[in-house]
Each structure stands twice: as C-alpha cells, then as structure tokens.
Amino acid sequence: MLEVTRKLVDLLDLSPMGDDHFQGDSEDLGFPNVFGGQVLGQALMAASRTVEGRLPHSLHAYFLRPGNHSMPIDYEVQRVRDGSSFSVRRVIARQDGKEILTGSMSFQVAEDGFEHQLDMPSAPDPDSLKSEQDYGKMLAPHVPEHLRDTLVRDRPIEIRPVDPVNPLKPEPRPPYKQSWFRTQGHLPDDPVLHRCLLTYASDFSFLGTALNPHGVTFMSKKMQIASLDHSIWFHREFRMDDWLLYDKDSPSASGGRGFNRGNFFDQQGRLVASTTQEALIRHRG
C-alpha cells in the first residue's frame, strides 16, 4: 500500500469516544470545505463499528452545513433497529456542536436470492487512459498558483476519466460521464473498508455530470456548487484496489439543482454499486 493510500485508510479508522460516539480527523484536498466523500465514508465506518456479522447495503445522507477541514468531526451513531436480517443505524456528524451531515445506513446478513442487472456500458480500457493527475500536470501552468497543488497532488484514489472536460474551456456536451477508479496499491481483505472507500470516492466528479450540458465547471466564474444529498446501494462484493468503472448520467436539472445517477461496474461487467446525488448548481449572474 502506498503511503498516500495508507493515510486515507487511517483517515477512515475512527477513534471510539464511548457510547457509540466516534471521532475522525479531516483532510484538506484544496477545496474550500471538507470533501463530502470524506464525511460520507467516515459516517459509514462509524455506523459499521456498531454492527456485527452484517455488511452495509445502503446509505442515505443529507449535507447540512459545510465542514471545516481544519477541525475533527464527531460522529454519533443511533441504533435504530436490529432485526433478524437487517440492522438500521442513524448517524449525525458534528463540528463545533453543529450538525454538518445526517444519514441512515442499513446492514444485512449474507443472503442468496434472485439475480439480474443492467449490462455494463462500453468504455475504453483504463490502461489506454491518462489519470486526472496527468491532466492536472498539463493544466497546472495555466491556472492561478494557489490551485496548482490541488491539480498535481498525489492521490490515494486513481481516477482515469473518459473524454474529460477541459475546466478552463468547457463546452456544452451530453449529461453523461465515465471514469475508472481504483486505490493506489493493495488493500486489506476487509469488505467494510472497501465499501467505505467506495463511498468516499463516489463523490468525486459526480455533480459535474449535471454541469455538462451547460458548458460550465467548478472553475467557472459566478458558480455556486455543493452536494445536497447522497445515496449509495451496494449490490455485490468488489475490491477498491481493482479497476471499477463509474458510469454517470444526469436526467434533470431545474430550480438551481442538478440530479445525478451513477453505477459502478467491475472489469468482469458486474454491477457492484449504484449512487444518486442532488446538487446545488446555482449561477449567480
């Protein structure tokens, strides 16, 4: 495991504070606020620490306030129900006594049942694509100095976008995006860790799908963008240190909000997880 990946794994390894309370550190990725995927991944880890013999199969969360990446985050887990097959947990994330995220997670015992899935869409092989870090190095000389470190930094999640948008010269295009994801280096055989890492990664490049038809990006002037909510469903086992295709579309944007959907496929074509997110995409003219 590379050191940059080990730091992310450590970030998800929360400190128990007693009475189903946990504390996690924050990381600065160069964004104004805490990266939403970090709070989601830590919240799922906190809930998982209160469940035995069951893996998370769904998560639904609302972002309530921007997080401060210079402060730790406190996670309170509420044990809503433990049934014969399912367990439900509610998680509240706080900083400085204020709620920044609230969510519910459901866990299930391993079970056999009916099987079907959508076919995996066509996509270029990840070995034929450049990484986001490669594109960042190409863009770095053309952006303000304070943005360069964010573009070229080492990343624990390697992302290889298909047909990437030039954030400096965006043009309208269909509301559809694809990227290949995997962690840098081998990971332990812990299915909870892999699900928390996918949760963390699922927030990267997601809301931008709703921006595609409008020819704007997060770097465009007078844009206010933020994730409002986020949901994930885990369908099948997977590994985050193997390539996963993140296939995304945005069926609708209206009222200053953009709706996004995503599916994760492994290289064998298995649908392993699905996501949805609504985001604020407000243009202040």
Give the residue numbers marked as catalytic. 203, 227, 277
User: What value does the CA radius of gyration of the chain take, rounded to a whole number of Å?
Assistant: 18
Q: Is 80 helix (H, G, I), strand (E, B) or coil?
A: strand
Q: Which residues contact 281 (CB under 8 A, 6 or more apart)?
A: 207, 210, 211, 214, 223, 224, 225, 253, 256, 257, 258
Q: How far apart are CA 208 and CA 4, in angstroms?
A: 25
Q: How far apart are CA 134 and CA 124, in angstroms?
A: 17
Asked if 236 and 268 count as a contact pair (C-beta separation under 8 A), the reply is no
Structure tokens at 202: 């699922």
Asked if 86 and 105 count as a contact pair (C-beta separation under 8 A), the reply is no
Where would I find the H helices in the chain?
3-12, 36-48, 132-139, 145-152, 191-201
Q: How far apart are CA 33 and CA 67, in angstroms?
A: 5
